[in-house]
Amino acid sequence: MKLSSKNNELGTAALYCRLSRDDNMDTESNSISNQKKILQKAAKEKGYTDTLFFVDDGITGTTMKRPGFQKMIQAIENGYISAVFVKDLSRLGRNYIEVGRLTEEFFPAHDVRLVAVSDGVDSDEGENEFTPFKNIMNEYYARDISKKRRIVNKMKGNSGVPLSPPPYGYIKNPEDPRFWVIDPEAAEVVRRIYQMALDGYGLAETAAALEQDGVFNPTYYWRSKGTSRGGSKSTVEPTKWGHTTIKKILTLQEYCGDVINFKSYSKSYKMKKRIENPEENRAIFLNVHEAIIDRPTWEKVQSMKKGTRRRRPTVTQEPSVFSGVLKCPECGGNLNFHFNQGNHAIKFFSCQNHNSGLRKCSKTHYIRLEFLERVVLYEVNRLACFANEYEGDFIKAMMGRSAKVTENERARKQRELDGLLARDKELDGLFERLYEDNVSQKISDARFAKMSQRYEQEQGENAKQIKALWLELKKSEGQRMDVDTFLETVRRYTNATEITQRMVAELIDHIDVYHAEKQDGVTTQHITIYYNCIGTFSVPDRRKIPAAEITMGTRKGVAVSYSPERIAV
């Protein structure tokens, strides 16, 4: 470094302090207050009376994008600073390339004196040959800390301990801060958001309703409770809800009581950007904490959000409750919602692949909305009546003859899963003891690397089998659990008089609409309803079960009748 020419007028000295968890800076000797004392004393001894503090508290040295540091750099570039004092070179940063650029190029170019008190570095006293080596060792320290933290996080994450802070609706358990408990006030808002989704409200409508009712968004809610959360600080109004916030709440599986670890990762300890991890690389633990949303409700919302792409009607501005539910049995496409150009009161659905111009579907599968509503309401009332009057037969029909075989298969898979989970836990323990032996130098680094690689390979193979079994059990458990839930839901719509969004969401998976066919002078349209949990279901003709013929006249004077014969178990 070149010698400073500011011997007569020393100017202003920047006293830079930094504290970070990465540096194990929890001792009093390295605290911000102690750093300030050391730097103030050193500056005074060097003859600097005009000093200015720049502080970064709790920010890692692996990044140079630190607020206090950037302000100091800006002040240097503006010519306000003539000297920089730090406790040691690691306070400037733990990136030896960037710190080397500062000490070898930036500071000399701006005629700034550098003093690192503990390292014995003073650029006015000539170059220090050990400075580059100190910078390399400082970065090596950060690399080592990062490696150890990744190992600890991996062990914690694979044991079911949440690695992320609790989402909106949960707080840390006061008795065991590693886990979460429900925050009653926020949980009510989460339940409301899910209920509005089931009722057919969009993201914008839900956000507007919450804002109108004066509900704090998550950022301001945490702030009002004195909870510190990372990330950028929101500048919007406290009751302003964004679409992305609503969307994220509606997709978080954690609300079912699950813990999902390793959702994202970083490629390097120097890169703070998080990259989304594929689902097969995540660790999922079911029913770890109390659920805010029951699993069937969460899964129904996911299916609604994933498969529905609604077209906005240009006149009514109101989509039908059946949008995204009607399917074409010929081509598998959706039926789109339309209105008659000459009479907007006539609303109907038709196959999207017939109307696209490509004619991938040979027929329109046209059905009037009014006719469809009458048919679905009729079938729902018949289903509810059958469930109430003949509950035993209804449950038997839902469960099917193969229930016992299915349960035996499920038990076998559960035993296999339990064995794999036990081995996975055992491997975590072996890995932890192996790491401790390496730290205490009982085994060499080469031996540690070889054994840990073998354990990781076995654990990776087990993880794939665990996920496959978990998905199969989840599907069968969901079906078994949904029997009682579905029965209760059906009863809720006994004697229903109108079709609602919630009814369609809770009862119906999709509806196949066949093209109306004319035979012997009678136009008949077949419709197959696929219910949630049970699929297609034919309600038998019994006493007390309502039966009626549904017909509807068209504008061309043709009467269309509904035929339920195509609905079969």
Per-residue model confidence (pLDDT) at position 318: 63
By the 8 A CB rule, do 163 and 262 touch? yes
pLDDT computed for residue 2 by the predictor: 39
By the 8 A CB rule, do 139 and 96 touch? Answer: yes
Strand partners, 519: 522
Closest CA to 315 of 351, 350, 345: 345
Q: Which amino acid is it at 459?
A: Q
User: How far is 487 from 414, CA to CA, in rounded Å?
Assistant: 26
Residues 15 and 51: beta-carbon distance below 8 Å: yes
Rg (CA), the chain: 33
Q: Whole-angstrom distance between the N-terminal and C-terminal Cα of the chain? A: 86
**Residue 207 to residue 212: CA distance in whole angstroms:** 9
Residues with Cβ within 8 Å of residue 307, at least 6 apart in sequence: 324
Positive or negative torsion for Cα 284, 288, 289, 290:
positive
**Nearest to residue 99, comparing CAs of 58, 54, 67, 140?**
140
Which residues neighbour 301 within 8 Å (Cβ) at sequence distance 6 or greater? 194, 197, 198, 250
Lookup result for tokens 């409301």: 192
Which superfamily is assigned to 159-307 in CATH?
Putative Large Serine Recombinase; Chain B, Domain 2 (3.90.1750.20)
Inter-residue contact 282 to 269 (CB < 8 Å): no
CA distances from 288 to 205, 280, 483, 516, 567 (A): 32, 20, 24, 51, 41
**How many Å is the maximal CA-CA distance in the chain?**
112
Q: Please report the DSSP string for 223-237 in residue order.
A: HHTT----SPPP-S-
Are 53 and 91 contacting, i.e. CB atoms less than 8 angstroms apart?
no
Q: What's the confidence (pLDDT) of residue 5? A: 43
With 0.75 as the threshold, say if the pTM is over it.
Answer: no
CA-CA-CA-CA dihedral for 48, 52, 57, 62, to nearest 10: -70
**What is the CB neighbour count within 10 angstroms for residue 422?**
10
d(CA 19, CA 420): 43
Contact present, 16 and 68 (Cβ < 8 Å):
yes
**Distance between CA atoms of 259 and 165, rounded to whole angstroms?**
11
Scan for tokens 């692996």, then name that residue. 62
Helix, strand, coil shares of the chain, percent, nearest 5, are: 45, 15, 40
| Separation CA 78–CA 485 (nearest Å) | 69
- Please report the pLDDT score of residue 444 as a whole number: 80
Q: What is the rounded CA–CA span in Å between residue 115 and residue 91? A: 12
CA–CA separation, 251 and 293 (whole Å)? 11
Contact 356, 517 (CB under 8 A): no
Which has the closest alpha carbon to 159: 394, 344, 432, 395?
432
Residue 98 has, within 13 A of its CA and on its CB side, a CA count of 16
Pairing between β-strand 347-351 and β-strand 113-116 as defined by DSSP bridges: unpaired
Cβ atoms of residues 353 and 333 within 8 Å? yes
H-run or E-run covering 17: strand 13-19
pLDDT the model gives residue 276: 73
pLDDT for the residue 17:
93
Give the SS3 label for residue 541: coil
What is the architecture of the domain spanning 13-145? Answer: 3-Layer(aba) Sandwich (3.40)
- CA–CA separation, 90 and 137 (whole Å): 9
State whether residue 142 is helix, strand or coil: helix
d(CA 564, CA 544): 18
The token duo for 542 is 């019994």
List the chain pLDDT tens, one digit each, 569 residues. 334 444 446 789 999 999 876 555 445 446 888 889 899 999 999 899 899 999 998 888 788 889 999 999 999 999 999 999 998 888 888 887 888 888 888 998 999 999 988 888 888 877 655 556 555 665 555 565 556 566 666 666 677 788 788 999 999 888 888 889 999 999 999 999 999 988 888 888 899 999 999 999 998 898 888 877 765 555 568 888 988 899 999 989 889 988 888 776 665 545 556 677 776 667 778 888 899 999 888 888 887 776 554 444 444 446 788 888 899 888 888 888 887 766 777 888 888 887 655 557 888 888 888 888 888 988 888 888 888 888 877 777 776 534 544 666 777 788 888 888 888 888 777 877 777 777 777 788 777 777 777 877 887 787 778 877 777 776 665 555 456 777 888 888 888 888 888 888 888 888 999 988 887 777 788 888 888 777 788 787 776 676 666 665 555 445 556 655 443 33
Asked if residue 339 lies in contact with residue 316, where contact means CB atoms within 8 angstroms, the answer is yes
